[in-house]
Structure formats: C-alpha cells, structure tokens
Chain A
Amino acid sequence: MDVKYSIARPVHLETSSRRIYVAFEQIILEMRFTVRFSIACFYLFSSLFFSLATPSYAHDHEWHVKADDFRCVQQQVEKYLQQQGDQILIFIVDCPDIDIVASLQKRVQNSSGSDVKLKTNTPERPAEVITFSRSELLCVAKIKIEEGRPVIAIPKNPSC
C-alpha cells in the first residue's frame, strides 16, 4: 500500500511565495528579452557601422547612371568603339559628345596623376565617367532599361 506524505503548509505562506516566484520569473523573462534585444541591436548597429565605415575596394558590380545618359551611350556605341585601346572610357554626362578632348576642356584640374582622388558612384551620386572593355561595350546596346527610373543600375561587366 502506497502511503503518500505531504507537508502541510499554511495557505497564506504558499500564496505569498508563489507570488514572489511569479514576480521573479517575470523579471527573469523581461531581463532575457532585454538582453536578447540588446544583443540584436548590437549586431544590427555593428554590421551597419562596419558596412558604412570600412573602406573597401570591392565596389559593387554595377554602375549607377542616369537613364537618359545611358540611353544616349547605347545609341553611340559604334562611335565609342572608335576609341583606341581595349578599355573604353566614357564621359557619360557628356553624351552624345564622344570627343574626350572636348569633355576635358569642360574640366580644368591641376592635380598630378599620383594625387588623383577617387570617388565612387552611388544611386544618389550617379557616375559621370564609366568604362567598358571593347567586348563588353558591344553588349551595352542590348541592355534593357527599366522605364520610369531617373537613375538605373547597369552591370559593370555585361555579357551577351
């Protein structure tokens, strides 16, 4: 025969200890949430910080250009191909004027080659100068431009 033993406790004591336990549990749960939330915020802000603060040469794989300028380049591909060399330099903001000398006359710079300051292009700051290899430029005309966007992203190394 099984005999079950139980310790009799005053009801009021059990209630108060239970209340303390529940309150304690509540505090722990809130602390857990706060800690998890803090960790999540830390990861979020640190990844944001590093993505913004770390200088990198690994620029993205697209040119950000004004759609109208790029349409112009697409129409002038044959003329740009007359440029010497394997890599074709395009002052996209000067299109349809493809004459590099004319483009240079619009810009007066005094710095030497070794002092050149580089600037990346972004959707907010579209490229004024771009480049394609000779074979890539042949594919440029086939790139479809999304309608209704003033600035578009174009692959840096298009293939066709």
Chain B
Amino acid sequence: MAVVIGVAYAASQYYLSERQARKDDAVAIEKAEEQARKVRVEASLDFIRGYQQDHIVTARLQLLNNWNKFPIPLSEIDGLPGSAEVIDQYANSFIFQEDGTVEADQLITVIDYLDVVGTCVKEDICLSSIIATHLGRDARSFYCLYGAPIERLRKDRVLKNFAVEIKELLPEGEDCYAQ
C-alpha cells in the first residue's frame, strides 16, 4: 500500500513539475516573441526617424515640389487615357533636362533609402504594418510618379536593383495603374 501511495505521489509530482516546465517554456517563448517584436518595432521606428534626416527631407521635398510645375492638381488627370504617359513625360523632364544635364540626385537619395527600408520589411527585420502606415503613401507616390526616370536610370546607369525593394512598401492592392 505504501509503495502504491509512493508511486502515485511521485507520478503526481512528476506531472506537476512537467506542467510547470511547459508553462515556463510558454512564458519564455512569449517573452522572446515580445522582445523580438520590440526589436522589430524599434528597427521600424529607426527607419521612420531616418526618413526625417535633413538630406532626405530636402530631397523628397524637391521631388514633390517638381510637381508644382504641373499646371493642375494631379488628381484631375486620374484615370484619363494618356495620364500614364503624361506623368512619364513630366517626370522625365524634371530629371533629364533638355540641355542634357541629369538631376537625379534627389530621386536616387529617396529611392535608395526606401529600397533599404523595403529590404528591412522583406527580411522581416522591420514590422511591415508600422512601415506601411508611415512610409507606404510616400513610397507609392515616388514609385508611381517617377516610374519613367527610374526605368531610364536603371538602364543608363546599369542600376539593376534600383527601386526593386521599394515595392515591399507599396500599399497592398494599390497598383499605379487604373484598370
């Protein structure tokens, strides 16, 4: 009888300790996941803060200011046949001047930065939800409005990976083109 009680007691102790160990493991995993998420959030915020660096702010404002030369709000040509080519022609005229000079520094600065952020999202180092909220719209604007000069720079300067990873930042289901 004493042996049976002893075995039962040992079994219950073993069961309880196993349960505790599993609980501890689950808590440890949860903590590790939370820690990993914190690291990803921090990495994302670093990139968002980096987007406010002086040279990048200057470059992106210059790129956006270019469109002040467009005689009407861009939304007015939304979905009109020919709007894609009109945007291409204007964007090319901003970057590739008629006298042969190329003013691509701002475009390269901004797109390069967004490419790096795209890599961070792709590699799961950054949180795509945070990045998309803060940089998604800008990424789409620059990618869609400057598509033609981006394409030309890729060819002229053999920048095969230029503006490739930025696609990771584009809001889902928001293509540049109307159906």
Residue positions of A touching B, CB distance < 8 A: 55-59, 63, 83-87, 89, 92, 100, 104, 107, 109-122, 125-131, 133, 135, 156
Residues on the A chain within 8 Å of B98, using CB: 86, 133, 135
A71 to chain B, nearest CB (A): 17
Residues on the A chain within 8 Å of B70, using CB: 89
Segment 147-173 of B: residues with Cβ below 8 Å from A: 147-148, 150-151
Q: Is the CB of B90 within 8 A of A87?
A: yes
In the complex, number of A-B residue pairs with CB atoms less than 8 Å apart: 125
Residues on the B chain within 8 Å of A156, using CB: 85, 89
B 89-115 to A, binary, CB cutoff 8 A, 1 in contact else 0: 110010000100000000000000000
Q: Is the CB of B78 within 8 A of A109?
A: yes
Q: Is the CB of B81 within 8 A of A119?
A: yes
Segment 68-84 of B: residues with Cβ below 8 Å from A: 69-84
**Cα separation A120 to B175 with both chains bound (whole Å):** 13
Q: Is the CB of B79 within 8 A of A120?
A: no
**Cα separation A118 to B175 with both chains bound (whole Å):** 9
Residues on the A chain within 8 Å of B175, using CB: 55, 117
5 nearest CB pairs, A to B: A127-B82, A117-B178, A118-B84, A57-B147, A114-B141
Q: Which of B78, B82, B151, B176 contacts A63 (CB 8 A)?
A: B82
Q: Is the CB of A127 within 8 A of B85?
A: yes
Q: Which of B69, B81, B150 contacts A121 (CB 8 A)?
A: B81
Residues on the A chain within 8 Å of B140, using CB: 114-115
**Cα separation A110 to B75 with both chains bound (whole Å):** 7
* Closest residue on chain A to residue B177 by CB atoms: A118
B87 beta carbon closer than 8 Å to chain A: yes
* Closest residue on chain A to residue B148 by CB atoms: A57
For the complex, count residues of B whose C-beta is within 8 A of A.
Answer: 40
**Cα separation A87 to B174 with both chains bound (whole Å):** 28
17 further A-B pairs in the complex, CB-CB below 8 A; given A117-B176, A128-B82: A57-B88, A57-B148, A57-B150, A83-B71, A85-B71, A113-B73, A113-B74, A116-B74, A116-B144, A117-B79, A118-B178, A126-B81, A127-B81, A127-B85, A131-B90, A133-B93, A135-B98
Q: Can you list 13 A-B contacts with CB-CB less than 8 angstroms, sorted by A residue number? A: A58-B151, A87-B90, A89-B70, A100-B71, A104-B72, A107-B76, A109-B75, A113-B75, A116-B83, A117-B178, A118-B87, A118-B177, A130-B86
**Cα separation A76 to B144 with both chains bound (whole Å):** 31
Residues on the A chain within 8 Å of B144, using CB: 116, 118
**Cα separation A118 to B147 with both chains bound (whole Å):** 11
**Cα separation A39 to B123 with both chains bound (whole Å):** 38
A84 to chain B, nearest CB (A): 7
* Closest residue on chain A to residue B93 by CB atoms: A87
Q: Which of B69, B75, B79, B177 contacts A55 (CB 8 A)?
A: B177
